Structures are given as C-alpha cells and as structure tokens.
Amino acid sequence: MQVRVGTIGGRVIAAVALAAALGGCADSADEDGKKAANASPTARDGGSGNAGAASGGTIGAAGSACELPVSFSIAKDWKAKAVDGEAELSKASKGSGDDLSGAVAEAMLRQGPVTAACEIDAKPAGNIGFLRVWRGRTGDADAGGVLRQFVAAEDNTSKAKYRSFRTGGGVSGVEVEYLYTSKLLEETKKESAFAVSTPDGPVVLHLGGMDTEEHEAMRPAYDLAKRTLKLV
C-alpha cells in the first residue's frame, strides 16, 4: 500500500502529520476492505465478472467530469474527478512560509514529466484504488520516453516490462507493468500504466491499488480505458 490513497487535492499535507495520515489510511482501508469483501463478484472486478468491465460512461470530452486530450470509458460505478495539478502546485507554493507544503504537493501532483489531471475512484464499485490520469507538456511526443520517466520518478520500482500497443480507438501507445515496493510499509505490489501521445502533449493512465490483489480486481477497468481510448 502506498501513502497515495486519498483524493489528490486532499493529500497535500505537512510531513508532521504523516503518522496520523497513515493511521487514517489504515482505518479507511480496513473499513473499505470489509465493504469490498462483502461486495458482489461483479463489483469486485470493476463491474464485469470475468468478461471485462461494464462501461459506466465516458470522460475526456468537453463537459465531462474530466476534460482531457483523450476520451475513454470508465467502469460502471467508478467516479471521476478532475484535478488541476498545476493550479494545486501553484497554490501550495504560495500558501506557506516554508518549502514543505510545496515539496509535498510536488511529490503528490507531479511524477516525472507529467502532472495530475484526473482521478477515477474505484471505491463506489467495491474496490480500493484509483485509475489516475496524468498530462505532460505539449511537445513531449515520445510516449515511451515519457512513460519510462514516469516509472523512474516513482522510487523503488523493479521488474518493469514495456510493450507497444494500439487502443481500440486507433491510438498507438506504450504500456508497462512493474512492481512497487514501499520501504515504509515493507510491501511490494503490482502496478500498471500506459502512455499515448496527443497534439496537446502526452497522457499517462496509471492503475495502482492497495495491493496486488486489489490491482488485479481493478484491472478490467484499466483494460476498458485502454481499449476504448481515442483522441478528442
């Protein structure tokens, strides 16, 4: 489990509150874990059984929950929320008399060359985790390079396996599966991400989860997004 569990905007906290935050995350995880254990198999795998996640709508286009350079389907009951990473970073840098809040915001809202743009919460569907969307700057056209920088910026990763693919919407991209080890919690779990290039800059979709079991349970939602992704 990573410390990055809550909504991105609410994760910008002072380091002195880290122990309390971890305690809160553990309590929330325990409560949500009980809900997830009692959820139906359909909810546990992203609303799909074994056949793939059922769609709960599309985001990305103008007027949707998250306006992005791409659009894709999100799994049934998952809830999307836009995140203005650049605005949050600017606010954090100006709102404190020290460098701590800015440093924490930087760690939470930026990863390598990309900045947080949207998070899609799995809890309403019975899982613990998020499918997060990150955006890069216009001109960074190499999706593979951006994805490698994204993974490199997440410390303590290993066994990364990259491959090229094409979405159902005809967009070429690069995907990675890797392991992340939390030194604080002494746990290792699987994570997945893919990146595509757009005229408005690269887009990265990342799936984490509390642990590998949750990651696998949410994987159909990730696959749905990848399968349906197209340029806006």
Q: Which of 141, 144, 232 is nearest to 194 (CA)?
A: 144
Choose the weakest-confidence range: 73-77, 160-164, 186-190.
Answer: 186-190
pLDDT at 30: 37
- pLDDT(33) > 50: no
H-run or E-run covering 194: strand 187-196
pLDDT (0 to 100) of residue 91: 77
Q: What residue has token string 């949707």?
A: 64
Q: Compute the half-sphere exposure of residue 217: CA atoms within 13 Å on the CB side of its CA.
A: 25
Kindly indicate the confidence band of residue 196, based on its pLDDT and cuts at 50, 70 and 90.
very high
In the numeric block, which tokens belong to residue 63? 């007027």
Query: Average of pLDDT values for 67-77?
Result: 98
In this structure, the strands spanning 110-111 and 203-207 are unpaired
Under a CB-based contact definition with an 8 Å cutoff, are residues 112 and 152 in contact? yes
Q: What angle do CA 133, 122, 170 make, to 5 degrees?
A: 45
Mean pLDDT is lowest, of 25-34, 48-57, 127-136, for 25-34
| pLDDT at residue 177 is higher than 90 | yes
The whole-number pLDDT of residue 98 equals 54
